[in-house]
Amino acid sequence: MNIEIDNIIFSLQKAGGISVVWQQHLKRLLNDAEFNCRIIEYEGATANFFRQQLAINNQLIDSYSNDLLALKRFLNLKSQNKEKHLFHSSYYRTQKGKNVINITTVHDFTYEYYRKGMSKTIHSWQKNAAITNAQGIICISESTKRDLQLFLPSIKPENIRVIYNGVDEVYQQLKQEQVLTITQPFEDFSYALYVGDRKSLYKNFDMAVATCKLANMRLLIIGGGPLSENEQYNLNSKLGKDNYKELLHVSEADLNCFYNKAYCLLYPSFYEGFGMPIVEAQKAGCPVIATNASSIPEVIGNHYFAVTDPNAQKLADKIKELSFNNSVRNETIEQGLLKAQQFNWQNSYNQTIEFYKEVYNK
């Protein structure tokens, strides 16, 4: 089967969740003898952290200038391929031509729910066009599928397939002491962990801070960019400067250690397409306190710790229930480990290939 792959995401991000998903899929696809692949890529793509982990034969790459990339990213492509083939873009582009079958992957609807103005209008226009013109649509959760059917009710359900993301094998319970490449800021199990984006209001970072204040819990913040002055002021006034720590550019191996050594992961987000940190934490044996919202019920192990209508007091009460003095903590860890087994990249790849064949043969 012939397939053309659009690596546009590697030129739009230096890293990021969609880059992870695409890299994991592509490294398997390129080693699959069933497929004849051509790669569409723009100059500078190799600056992406996850693209650097791919060894792609240059003979498979059709390289294009990244001049005017801010415009090109929104433009669909015209097929020059005279043979029947699949086209799968990493970020909401399709290919025009009588011999092409388009596949698109939909990650979430954060723009539709939480953005305003021109950025929302342009993003939604591109996404809707990609979905409408695709013969096969992959959603990364049932929640994302429900959102798609809400915003685009004309899409035929039989054209949609839910295929969950996987999680890297680096996330696991440590059987022995593993040396961190960076300094451990707090004693083991004395801190709650917050991972990822803080800027988006729906992530509820302020609620996580207020929760730690009520629970008298230290807070370790990983990723999400440098703390702003307002964030530092809020953290200093609520927790005190010795009771929080921010770490940037943490390797996956070190992040796994922090999951292993955390009291819990705090994840008060109101909206997720999938919820990767939840699965990572559970795979590492870290209890998760989250919200009962969007895709989170699909990925969390112990639903008792998925809080409906959350606030800081409710989350702080859940922290106290995870005490080492009762069986709830161990049960939550066991349920998380069991749930995390459902999500791995090889399963995700196998299901994607099955869907490719189904759409191709229609």
pLDDT at 362 (0 to 100): 86
- What is the pLDDT tens value at each position of the chain, 362 positions in all? 999 999 999 999 988 889 999 999 999 999 999 999 999 999 889 999 899 999 999 999 999 998 998 898 998 889 888 899 999 999 999 999 999 999 999 999 999 999 999 999 999 999 999 999 999 999 999 999 999 999 999 999 999 999 999 999 999 998 877 666 777 899 999 999 999 999 999 999 999 999 999 999 999 999 999 999 999 999 999 999 999 999 998 989 999 999 999 999 999 999 999 999 999 999 999 999 999 999 999 999 999 999 999 999 999 999 999 988 889 999 999 999 999 999 999 999 999 999 999 999 98
The token pair at 181 is: 């490449």
Q: Same CATH fold, 191-340 and 2-166+344-360?
A: yes
pLDDT at 325 (0 to 100): 81
Residue 105 DSSP label:
E
Q: Quick one: which H or E segment has residue 233?
A: helix 229-238
CATH fold of the domain at 191-340: Rossmann fold (3.40.50)
Phi, psi of 298 (to 5 degrees): -75, -20
Q: Quick one: which H or E segment has residue 206?
A: helix 205-215
pLDDT at 183 (0 to 100): 79
DSSP β-bridge partners for residue 42: 64
Q: Domain-by-domain residue ranges, the chain?
A: 2-166+344-360, 191-340
- The dotted CATH code for 2-166+344-360 is 3.40.50.2000
71 vs 39, 74, 75, 126, CA distance in Å?
20, 6, 7, 12
C-alpha 4/C-alpha 40 separation (Å) is 7
225 vs 41, 219, 296, CA distance in Å?
27, 16, 24
Cβ within 8 Å of residue 21, ≥6 positions away: 105, 107, 140, 165
Evaluate the CA torsion angle 235, 236, 239, 240 in order and state its sign.
positive
pLDDT at 16 (0 to 100): 84
pLDDT at 179 (0 to 100): 67
Cβ within 8 Å of residue 82, ≥6 positions away: 99
The token pair at 28 is: 């398997």
